[in-house]
Amino acid sequence: MAKTKTAFFCRNCGVQSPKWIGKCPSCGEWNTYVEEVIQREEPGVAPGMAIRRNAIPTLITDIELSTENRIDTQNQELNRVLGGGLVPGSVVLVGGEPGIGKSTLMLQVALTIKNLKVLYVSGEESEQQIRMRAERLGMGRNECYILTETSTREILGHIAKLTPGIIIIDSIQTLTSDNIDASAGSISQIRETASEMQRFAKTVNVPVFLIGHITKEGTLAGPKLLEHMVDTVLQFEGDRNYGYRILRSVKNRFGSTSELGIYEMQSSGLREVSNPSEILITQHEEPVSGTAVAATIEGLRPMLIETQALVSSAAYGTPQRSCTGFDTRRLNMLLAVLEKRSGFKLGVKDVFLNIAGGLRVDDPATDLAVVSSVLSSNIDIPINSKTCFAGEVGLSGEIRPVTRAEQRVTEAEKLGFESIVISKLNFKAAKSAAKTIKVIPVSKIEDVFRHLFG
Ligand code: TYD
Ligand code: MG
């Protein structure tokens, strides 16, 4: 019998050490080391490394170029985030908080994908539960097998018999490998089971989806090490209070990471939202102060989103600044610029900012709309609802140009906006794309203020 061996692992980055250490030498985190039992049957295979055992060096020009043969998942948003479809033999990690809809999304894919045998392995739900959910989602007519099992040896055995064309594992934290004695969900188990799945996917060229839970700190449990091992990491996120869900690609060996998929959670599952602007702009009966629409680009997709600000006198000594969907530090910076350039005493005001629809935006072009909505709320004068904004605000109050101005203008025009406020430096490009929409060039915060409120 092999003797029991234990080792210490960093909970943050997965580094292994023979003894306990207070500060991880690899990632610098404190108190992250945990002891786990490890007992390998066969030593020496580094996880994630063993793609093919008896490989020989091959001249790069002699390697057959597999024509990009992507699998259409029948889910346009997912295809987009994957970079144009699923690559055979790739391992895709789908991460997200509990209850966000990972199992729903994957089961939906399992039920709608065409001409492929699907194996959905669940370690969390019973067959009946999955069947009930499938009824709710509307059963497809394809070959979808459900297996409730957690041992990788059993799972790989079933896979060998069934030969599915795509495999979904729900979730990686429930899998256990016989090679390791640690409990399911521990770092060494996650590392081992994920590497077994990865090795399998590469050898037989079958794609594998791994569902992964996110811990309270917002990282994938068994975090960085899993991200290194898989080909693609997708993050499923959203505000529970809104029906919208966003699928983001965090890492992608086969495509860009700036893509975004948008879904709406309904009683019959996730609906793809192909025109996000429609849901992200609230229709107001009458003009209200404190709202401005930003022409942003997320990934390759232009979207118009509404920013809402509320500026009020601070009830207590220290004014509050709070953001939903926007970086609070960036808001503070914009407020400081406004205070300096527009002469408003925003330092004594509470400022709340909200991006409608529960979306989180990173595009710096949102700045101009944020600034405009704050100004509008502060003096309580509404902005024309047919006006939108695209511009980054610099520290000296200058309006900086944005990327792909033409695309933003075209999208705004398509959605019926009558004018777009944009940096002077984008004027030429914007003008060339504009057919009916009026392009208003601005170079400083003062120009914006003058244009909006006279
Ligand atoms: P689930 O896929 O189980 O989340 P995860 O696997 O990420 O933990 O999603 C669960 C939530 O989704 C649950 O709160 C109910 C909701 N839901 C719907 O609103 N409509 C549906 O059709 C389904 C299947 C789930
Ligand atoms: Mg689930």
pLDDT tens per residue, range 235-273: 888 776 777 888 988 889 988 877 788 898 989 999 998
Q: Could you tell me if residue 52 is inside a domain?
A: no
Most confident of 24-38, 181-195, 406-420: 406-420
* Helix H or strand E encompassing 335: helix 328-342
Distance between CA atoms of residues 444 and 454, nearest Å: 15
Q: How far apart are the first and last CA of the chain?
A: 85
The pLDDT value given to residue 44: 45
pLDDT digits (tens, 9 = 90+) for 317-349: 788 999 988 999 999 999 999 998 877 788 889
User: Does 156 share its domain with 285?
Assistant: no
Once rounded to an integer, what is the mean pLDDT over residues 19-38? 84
User: Does 207 share its domain with 335?
Assistant: no
Pocket of ligand 1 (CB under 6 A): 96, 98-104, 133, 136-137, 265, 267-269
Q: What's the 33 CA to ligand 2 centre distance in angstroms? A: 28
The pLDDT value given to residue 217: 62
Domain final residue pick, 246, 274, 302: 274
Task: Give 99: exposed, middle or buried? Use CB within 10 Å, 0-12, 13-18, 19+.
Answer: exposed
Domain final residue pick, 227, 257, 274: 274
Once rounded to an integer, what is the mean pLDDT over residues 72-85? 91
Q: What's the 124 CA to ligand 1 centre distance in angstroms? A: 13
Atom of ligand 1 nearest to the CA of 268: 22
Are 251 and 229 within 8 A, CB to CB? no
Residue 413 has pLDDT above 60, yes or no: yes
User: Does 289 share its domain with 270?
Assistant: no
User: Does 314 share its domain with 358?
Assistant: yes
User: Does 206 share its domain with 283?
Assistant: no
SS3 30: strand
From atom 22 of ligand 1, which residue's Cα is the shortest distance away? Answer: 269
Average pLDDT, the chain: 86
Q: Could you tell me if residue 137 is inside a domain?
A: yes
User: Does 141 share its domain with 284?
Assistant: no
Residue 107 has pLDDT above 90, yes or no: yes
Q: Could you tell me if residue 322 is inside a domain?
A: yes
CATH number of the domain where residue 379 is located: 3.30.230.10
Are 205 and 102 within 8 A, CB to CB? no
Question: Looking at per-residue confidence, does 92 or 299 come out higher?
Answer: 92
Counting ligands in written order, the one closest to the CA of 98 is 1
Q: Could you tell me if residue 28 is inside a domain?
A: yes
Residue 49 has pLDDT above 60, yes or no: no
Q: Could you tell me if residue 47 is inside a domain?
A: no
User: Does 190 share its domain with 316?
Assistant: no
Question: Looking at per-residue confidence, does 313 or 168 come out higher?
Answer: 168
User: Does 159 share its domain with 264?
Assistant: yes
Q: Using pLDDT thresholds of 50, 70 and 90, give the confidence band for residue 46.
A: very low
User: Does 258 share its domain with 394?
Assistant: no
25 is in which domain, residue-wise? 5-38
Please tell me what DSSP assigns to residue 389: E
Least confident range from 112-116, 173-177, 234-238, 274-278: namely 274-278
Distance between CA atoms of residues 239 and 219, nearest Å: 17
Distance between CA atoms of residues 386 and 284, nearest Å: 11
CATH number of the domain where residue 240 is located: 3.40.50.300
Q: Could you tell me if residue 63 is inside a domain?
A: no
Task: Give 118: exposed, middle or buried? Use CB within 10 Å, 0-12, 13-18, 19+.
Answer: buried
Task: Give 123: exposed, middle or buried? Use CB within 10 Å, 0-12, 13-18, 19+.
Answer: buried
User: Does 284 share its domain with 429?
Assistant: yes
From atom 14 of ligand 1, which residue's Cα is the shortest distance away? Answer: 99
Q: Could you tell me if residue 203 is inside a domain?
A: yes
pLDDT digits (tens, 9 = 90+) for 197-208: 999 999 999 999
Count of domains observed in the chain:
3
From atom 1 of ligand 1, which residue's Cα is the shortest distance away? Answer: 101
User: Does 255 share its domain with 345?
Assistant: no
Domain final residue pick, 252, 274, 296: 274
> What residues sit around ligand 2, an ion, with C-beta below 5 angstroms?
103
Longest dimension (CA), the chain: 85
SS3 257: coil
Q: Which two tokens stand for residue 100?
A: 């966000």
Residue 222 has pLDDT above 60, yes or no: no
Are 406 and 430 within 8 A, CB to CB? yes
pLDDT digits (tens, 9 = 90+) for 122-174: 999 999 999 999 999 987 777 899 999 999 999 999 999 999 999 999 989 89
- Return the best residue to mutate from 265, 266, 267 for the ligand 1 pocket (most ligand atoms within 8 A of CB): 265
Distance between CA atoms of residues 177 and 32, nearest Å: 23
Q: Could you tell me if residue 56 is inside a domain?
A: no
User: Does 313 share its domain with 443?
Assistant: yes
